[in-house]
Structure 1
């Protein structure tokens, strides 16, 4: 424990304060976080839209600019992982539980219960449901991760800076990126990481509970979810103790196999032609309407604005609150890749996989609704996936595979989270002490439990939106700092080349 920094103790104190607050006064805690969330959504919605779209534009610029040839590491560094393992890790850490949780639930919700603009249950609602699902889980989400990961990997592996958020801000803040101000930045990153990861783990616990409840009649509620969190905590701590190259690598590949199995099953036995047509059409409308969706705030339509706050702003805040964790993890496994290779891989491959996932699972849910075969929209959000699988051959077997997949995603996310939190609170150490990882593993589980206890799914959403706002400002500084450092390096390389001539 000798490597511990003030960031560890300060972040732990802040989080424990909120945990105790949630235990002692759960109703007040829920009401307070809901009020803060409503204020942020209504007041800073425009800011979230501009910031996240700016991250997409920034990533696009890196791809087409000469900076794209620069490596995330020294000139002779090579990638530590093959493309397949790298993509599996991106997918597992980036949004594995979320895709399984929302893959069927979000499109059918936009179609039948909460459409963005179209009439409920109409053909236009189908198109909107898929397009906005693609929008929420596509390029914008991964651009958020890419900005954080690029900055961390570049400064850590090329400039030998500490693997900390504050370590990426030297070109902008100078000496203020260290000392007390640097600690404040890292404390914000750690708290955002805990809230983001804990929120996602909460979603995983809720859906596992929904699955065993749908299949076996297990009561759905906090007691069952708390038991699930306890069981999975033991499992992911065992995985965390095996280290990055064993535990996370193995589980990431297991996740990929299970996800492909589940996807392949529904692709074959589901409404394949309907889903493929829906996928193709939605890709076209997604690309065509991406600019308008990116800036849509509906200032004169109260209902539409409420929808944007509840869905788009929530997602942008979720991705931002998760970006210190996911960005740190992606940076850790991306050493040796060029900036262009990195951005294209991080933005395009997982996004396309996500589009296919929503087309197959969301498309199947909508098809069942249209045909009157099953009322998926009437099920609880966490049961939607299992309601879809139940209407096809081997539904029970596939549901069991889905529960296993959620569990392994749960373990991978928490495992990765303990590693990243350990790194962030031991001055960027790539081998944080196991005792530190144990502390953060317990803190993740406790935080997820408290958020579920005080507000269920809504409590999880509230916490993530609140945590995201301050870190979004840090992300903007990280992007500017990276660009400034790249310009300085390019000028130095050009001067060196001229001297050689």
Structure 2
């Protein structure tokens, strides 16, 4: 029956995966609208249970992924080329790097570039002052009084006082931990697996293909379909959270520029408009749509970065970028294993920040992974891993250092100007625009920032619709455009539902849903590491594991060797 329906609609997909995924998402949307309170309560309870009992598993998992990737890149498998030993990259390094940002990391940079450092500056993660900060935010009258009160919060010996130099170092260290190697390890692991099984074994771009060493041809049976449906649903919600965050930020920017009201009707309208733009980009295709938009947007983002660097305290920021890199590297190993263990009852800080980030990122990982694999054919495993980990992380270090230290510097010289709206009022989405009010040409720069977020939003939705379509069909070659349009529209519907049909604050609702959906993806990721190593050992000949120069030398020796009698 599903196959007949597929033919009637002119689709080219796996009908069981496509229609089951669409139906389950539709059921969620209806239940969220009709049973709002029950859905809120269910996800809230499940999210709290995961943060309390399995937060350590999320922390251990992401650190394990990073260690595994570094090992496989530097091992003898690093010479293996994705697509065969003679394959070469389809895209140059600059274009490849720009398209990595099309996968959605740009939205993260814009939303959290100011918001996270300022939050940690006011509430140092290792000091355990959450309750005091929350109480002060309610009792302090003005933003200036709030900032003054933060500096007077008593802390234990050796802990950072809010808004102090130690707090600034913690703010930068934790921010880079959240958006550095660990985040990109979550993206890189499935990307490498997708690329390997698609280009070396000729399997479809589906999550079930990663399990081929274990399941064999059963990846095309019921077990494989369950895996793929789960991946599609998780990916849709992961992308929807990103779209939701971008929507909140766009709404905040439009409010600052034109006084447009902040609220759910406006946010739904924003999602509708940007989804329409993304749909047009979908119709244009990968090379004309995503590639063109991502190249434009990365240069706009770099332009904004340079403006902040030159218009702010330039020397302070140049020194700070170098120092921030050192702060991050020195804190990398301790934070990779930190679990918010002491005091015994825990402070709960990590569940609301790190655990949420890892859960959100890993639900997004199949989307980013397939997209990165799609644009990375021909690269060696070593080049792939070090490139996907290295280039975006280097840019993130510069970005968060410049924006984070600029925000901290502004707060130092004008107490309350940023911690007031961002921390005391809890308006995280307005952080960037409150920050930009301290720079010249404010309205122009704010307008450009809104445009950057819109384009990042568009390329995320555009890329996601292509990838979700590949997850349901496994076909990377010219699927019907109507399929990608369907997924682009559905992503917008899910994002609008998460924001509008929940009884809680939008950001809190997004966090709780994604924390729950992230759990099965961690289990899949651990199996991915095993399957990838097993496949490499089964498929790759010893000679291919040698460096290319050595292989060429051996080939020349064979050519010169006398023919056997």
TM-score grouping bracket, smaller chain normalisation: over 0.9
Verify: 1:98 aligned to 2:145, yes or no: no
Cα distance in 2 for residues equivalent to 1:304 and 1:88: 40
Q: 2:467 aligns with which of 420, 437, 447?
A: 420
Please give the per-residue CA displacement for 1:92-125, whole angstroms capped at 9, x wherever unaligned: 3141101100100100010014644232111111
Partner of 1:41 in structure 2? 51
State whether residues 233 and 445 of structure 1, in contact with CA within 8 Å, keep that contact through their aligned partners in structure 2: yes
Taking structure 2 as the reference length, the TM-score comes to 0.86
Verify: 1:356 aligned to 2:403, yes or no: no
Cα distance in 2 for residues equivalent to 1:145 and 1:172: 22
Please give the per-residue CA displacement for 1:217-244, whole angstroms capped at 9, x wherever unaligned: 1111111110100110110000000011
Alignment map for 1:140-159 (pairs within 5 Å):
140-159=182-201
State whether residues 111 and 121 of structure 1, in contact with CA within 8 Å, keep that contact through their aligned partners in structure 2: yes
Partner of 2:279 in structure 1? 237
Partner of 2:414 in structure 1? 372
State whether residues 290 and 459 of structure 2, in contact with CA within 8 Å, keep that contact through their aligned partners in structure 1: yes
Displacement after TM superposition at 1:491 (Å): 4.9
Partner of 2:263 in structure 1? 221
Verify: 1:181 aligned to 2:223, yes or no: yes
Verify: 1:56 aligned to 2:66, yes or no: yes
State whether residues 73 and 386 of structure 2, in contact with CA within 8 Å, keep that contact through their aligned partners in structure 1: yes
Higher alpha-carbon Rg: 2
Q: Using the TM superposition, name which of 323-332 and 284-293 deviates more.
A: 284-293
Q: Secondary structure at the match of 2:348?
A: helix
Please give the per-residue CA displacement for 1:377-407, whole angstroms capped at 9, x wherever unaligned: 2222111111111111112111111000000
Alignment map for 1:439-454 (pairs within 5 Å):
439-453=486-500, 454=502
Partner of 1:69 in structure 2? 79
Partner of 1:464 in structure 2? 514
Displacement after TM superposition at 1:332 (Å): 0.4
Cα distance in 2 for residues equivalent to 1:318 and 1:444: 15
Please give the per-residue CA displacement for 1:361-381, whole angstroms capped at 9, x wherever unaligned: 111111111111661122221
Alignment map for 1:469-484 (pairs within 5 Å):
469-484=519-534
In the superposition, relative to structure 1, how do residues 2 and 399 fare at CA in structure 2: closer, same or farther (>3 Å)?
A: closer
Partner of 1:382 in structure 2? 429
Cα distance in 1 for residues equivalent to 2:493 and 2:188: 29
Cα distance in 2 for residues equivalent to 1:490 and 1:341: 17
Displacement after TM superposition at 1:143 (Å): 0.7
Taking structure 1 as the reference length, the TM-score comes to 0.96
Verify: 1:338 aligned to 2:380, yes or no: yes
Displacement after TM superposition at 1:486 (Å): 1.1
Alignment map for 1:284-299 (pairs within 5 Å):
284-299=326-341
State whether residues 89 and 376 of structure 2, in contact with CA within 8 Å, keep that contact through their aligned partners in structure 1: yes
In the superposition, relative to structure 1, how do residues 176 and 268 fare at CA in structure 2: closer, same or farther (>3 Å)?
A: same
Cα distance in 2 for residues equivalent to 1:283 and 1:156: 36
Q: Using the TM superposition, name which of 305-314 and 243-252 deviates more.
A: 305-314
Unpaired segments ≥5 residues, structure 1: none
State whether residues 81 and 380 of structure 2, in contact with CA within 8 Å, keep that contact through their aligned partners in structure 1: yes
Verify: 1:400 aligned to 2:447, yes or no: yes
Partner of 2:27 in structure 1? 17
State whether residues 109 and 115 of structure 1, in contact with CA within 8 Å, keep that contact through their aligned partners in structure 2: no
CA RMSD of superposed structures (Å)? 1.9
Cα distance in 1 for residues equivalent to 2:192 and 2:106: 21
Q: Using the TM superposition, name which of 453-462 and 241-250 deviates more.
A: 453-462
Cα distance in 1 for residues equivalent to 2:101 and 2:447: 21
Verify: 1:3 aligned to 2:12, yes or no: yes
Q: 1:281 aligns with which of 323, 327, 334?
A: 323
State whether residues 165 and 185 of structure 1, in contact with CA within 8 Å, keep that contact through their aligned partners in structure 2: yes
